[in-house]
Amino acid sequence: MANCAIVGINWGDEGKGRMVDLIAADYDVVVRYQGGNNAGHTVVNEFGKFALHLLPSGIFRSGVVNVLGNGTVVDPEKLIEEIEITQKAGISITPENLKVSDRAPIVFPYHRDQDVLEEARLRDAKYGSTKRGIAPVYGDKYMKKTIMLGELFYPDYLKKRLSGILEWKNLTLKNVYGGKTYTLDELMDWLTTYGDKVKPFICDTGAFLRENDGKKNILFEAQLGVLRDVDFGIYPYTSSSAPLAAYAPIGSGMPGAKLDRVIGVVKAYSTCVGEGPFTAEWFGDEAEKLREEGAEYGAATGRPRRVGPMDIVATRYGVTMQGATEVSLTKIDILSYMDKIPVCVQYELDGKKTDDFPFPAAIGAAKPVYDYLPGWKCDVTKCRSFEDLPKEAQDYVLFVEKGIRCPITNISVGAARDAIIRR
């Protein structure tokens, strides 16, 4: 039995959901171990097209158990909405194939409000939040002021704790932001409406995973990528959690587990949602053409993604930080319209060229250094082997592979589940 993590190498939105949906056929359990409903994992299969925000991407595979680990944060209202939407498409979701950690913090309506209010307060200095309450709830977690899902089974204990937390939170909402405050009764009613529907799925997921470690194949699904990691990303333009493969055992509830395989997911070009430095960013018509060809709009937010060429410097850094054993390259088909394909191979910083990814305070001054490869100018969506690809596309893959210093084992040539080349 083997443990595998599928993780993002860049800014997120690399195509992790699509790869999890594909690879989940070989695994018994799929675990989300960090983040919340700020994810936007797009999956296209025989059931339709889905943008999964909180549900693990293995939910479409019969016989696969899907887990939201203790490292995730869960908005019961949004989870129930997503479950109901997915069920309407004919997907069975029961406590047998979806398990939610009793230690996962609850995202309350006041967390969402605080997220919106803080981004408005920051104005032009905003971080690019999805406004789903993720940063506030993670902040509260480390201040020991969150409610865990398991507390729903202890109503008197929950009510007492929530009362104390709410007094503190209302002071923040009113006196810092001039925002709406909440009553204890309002939040208890909200928990009754949505929390009660989540309760059948809540269990000690850590115990379930630890019991099956070494007995079942377990796949860990990350949200976002290295450059949004709170410790090693472009701080402060990061998420508030750890999307690194190294965090998967902790965020899932099995800290003693070892990863046998780490698959890093990389787009054939660069995209970014949110604020912060983006060295190889394109603007104007050039950017708009790539954005339209790739349908680059955030699945969670609908925002147009910032786009640019493949960034070897950032990607090699991401591969290193993830400890990736292999890479899946997605959306190579999108580049088919280009006559020549730019690749950012170095940064220029203070008049010197560098192969190293800079410290966050320095990266805003970095300039991209490009090499150009010939385009292939033909449709590759029907290719199913590496040899089927035109030579120029093969050369592009090999060039990227050499630059990031990690083998590329999967190449996606389209959105459909079977539009994949395995090397």
Give pLDDT, residue 189: 97
Give pLDDT, residue 126: 61
Give pLDDT, residue 52: 81
Placement of tokens 């009660």 in the chain: 196
Q: Is the pLDDT of residue 216 over 70?
A: yes
Better pLDDT: 266 or 48: 266
Q: Map residue 166 onto helix, strand or coil.
A: helix
**Is residue 273 located within the same domain as residue 368?**
yes
**Is residue 74 located within the same domain as residue 118?**
no
Q: What is the CATH number of the domain that holds 356?
A: 3.90.170.10
Q: Which domain holds residue 376?
A: 267-310+328-422
Q: Is the pLDDT of residue 61 over 70?
A: yes
15-24, 197-206, 315-324, 413-422: least confident range = 15-24
Domain boundary among 150, 166, 199: 199
Better pLDDT: 326 or 17: 326
Give pLDDT, residue 404: 98
Give pLDDT, residue 130: 73
Percent of the chain with pLDDT over 90: 80
Averaged over 308-332, what is the pLDDT?
98
**Is residue 234 located within the same domain as residue 166?**
no
User: Is residue 316 a part of any domain in this protein?
Assistant: no
pTM of this prediction exceeds 0.75: yes
Largest CA distance in the chain: 67
Report in angstroms the alpha-carbon separations of 86 from 32, 78, 224, 242. Answer: 17, 12, 22, 27
299 pLDDT band, cuts 50/70/90, is: low
Nearest CA-CA partner of 328 in 267, 270, 396, 370: 267
**Is residue 292 located within the same domain as residue 272?**
yes
What is the number of structural domains in the chain?
3
Choosing from 13, 21, 113, 333, which is the catalytic residue? 13
Domain boundary among 263, 281, 296: 263
User: Tell me, what DSSP letter sits at residue 106?
Assistant: B
Rounded Cα distance between 225 and 227, Å, is 6
What are the tens digits of pLDDT across the range 339-381?
Answer: 999 999 999 999 999 999 999 999 999 999 999 999 999 999 9
Give pLDDT, residue 235: 94
Q: Map residue 196 onto helix, strand or coil.
A: helix
- Residue 188, classified by CB atoms within 10 Å of its CB into exposed (0-12), middle (13-18) or buried (19+), is middle
**Is residue 195 located within the same domain as residue 208?**
no
Give pLDDT, residue 58: 87
Placement of tokens 């309506």 in the chain: 109
Q: What is the CATH number of the domain that holds 116?
A: 1.10.300.10
Nearest CA-CA partner of 318 in 208, 226, 415, 221: 226
User: Is residue 366 a part of any domain in this protein?
Assistant: yes
15 pLDDT band, cuts 50/70/90, is: confident
Catalytic residue flag (residue 13):
yes
43 pLDDT band, cuts 50/70/90, is: confident
User: Is residue 321 a part of any domain in this protein?
Assistant: no
Q: Is the pLDDT of residue 262 over 90?
A: yes
SS3 content of the chain, % helix, strand, coil (to 5): 40, 25, 40
User: Is residue 322 a part of any domain in this protein?
Assistant: no
Give pLDDT, residue 258: 94
Better pLDDT: 21 or 262: 262
Percent of the chain with pLDDT over 70: 96
**Is residue 342 located within the same domain as residue 213?**
no
User: Is residue 43 a part of any domain in this protein?
Assistant: yes
User: Is residue 319 a part of any domain in this protein?
Assistant: no
Give pLDDT, residue 127: 63
Give pLDDT, residue 391: 97
User: Is residue 320 a part of any domain in this protein?
Assistant: no
**Is residue 153 located within the same domain as residue 237?**
no
Q: What is the CATH number of the domain that holds 98?
A: 3.40.440.10
415 pLDDT band, cuts 50/70/90, is: confident
What are the tens digits of pLDDT across the range 304-318?
Answer: 899 999 999 999 999
* Cβ count within 10 A of residue 255: 12
Q: Is the pLDDT of residue 201 over 70?
A: yes
**Is residue 292 located within the same domain as residue 346?**
yes
Q: Is the pLDDT of residue 301 over 70?
A: no
Choosing from 21, 41, 102, 311, which is the catalytic residue? 41
User: Is residue 317 a part of any domain in this protein?
Assistant: no
**Is residue 150 located within the same domain as residue 252?**
no
User: How does the average pLDDT of the chain come out, rounded?
Assistant: 93
**Is residue 412 located within the same domain as residue 293?**
yes
Placement of tokens 């408005």 in the chain: 120
Give pLDDT, residue 215: 92
Q: Is the pLDDT of residue 289 over 90?
A: yes
**Is residue 186 located within the same domain as residue 89?**
no
Q: Is the pLDDT of residue 144 over 90?
A: yes
**Is residue 285 located within the same domain as residue 399?**
yes
